Structure 1
């Protein structure tokens, strides 16, 4: 079971590591998009959200307070879904569909991150292949 959870952790964080990399290497473009969505201090918000993703993903991947890492990912995902993908504001059907997909993806990933939180918070030290036990 430990190996299955490790493989799940690796697969789960790939998206966040890739996204964090983009937040740091394509900051200007991503900040411009964030600004178009009305995000205050878009450059800082882009860098901060990249940092939250990177830290949360590494914590889950390495098993260093993985429960806290999972919560950090939830704290990234839910505001991102609401601020960056407000499908209900779109009038164009194609744009609305794209934003709906992205919104649903973020909310679904937040649910998966909450499950990781519950898994680590509940199993404690019994779940192997981690560097530390849960923080909570």
Structure 2
């Protein structure tokens, strides 16, 4: 492994760190998070909070270990875009402070989705230090 492969791996671990922490929160504080999700119109909020926690954990582990990392990155990108639109619809807020907080969360999710899409691209063309080949090979 050369220096740049090591840097790529460290970046993957750093990226996944956020999702592991969020997943643990979703799975251990489901009821508290479900209250917020329900206030945003999410049906069956406790189950959806748990499903999103498992999805975040699976995506993070996939990226760090390099097990179908392209699929893990693409899954996180989709989850982040859906979350940004459903949970952080700042354009619906009337209170200026709430609007600002939701806009920050929306922008964070969109930026992370962009990073996940970039990782998908890198893994698609054979990112370094992976256990499996990409699920969607270069011919996709």
Alignment pair present for 1:48 and 2:51: yes
Alignment pair present for 1:112 and 2:118: no
Query: Match of 1:135, SS?
Result: coil
Match of 1:28 among 26, 31, 43: 31
CA distance in 2 between counterparts of 1:133 and 1:6 reads: 16
Alignment of 1:1-136 (within 5 A): 1-122=4-125, 124=126, 127-136=127-136
Please, what is the CA RMSD of the aligned residues? 0.8
How much has 1:129 moved relative to structure 2? 1.7
Q: Quick check: which one's helix share is greater?
A: 1
CA distance in 1 between counterparts of 2:22 and 2:118 reads: 21
CA distance in 1 between counterparts of 2:34 and 2:95 reads: 23
CA distance in 1 between counterparts of 2:87 and 2:116 reads: 19
Number of residue-to-residue matches in the alignment: 133
CA distance in 1 between counterparts of 2:104 and 2:116 reads: 18
CA distance in 1 between counterparts of 2:72 and 2:122 reads: 12
Query: Match of 2:67, SS?
Result: coil
TM normalised by structure 1 equals 0.95
Q: Which runs of 5+ in 1 are unaligned?
A: none
CA distance in 2 between counterparts of 1:79 and 1:39 reads: 12
CA distance in 1 between counterparts of 2:128 and 2:110 reads: 28
TM normalised by structure 2 equals 0.93
How much has 1:128 moved relative to structure 2? 2.7
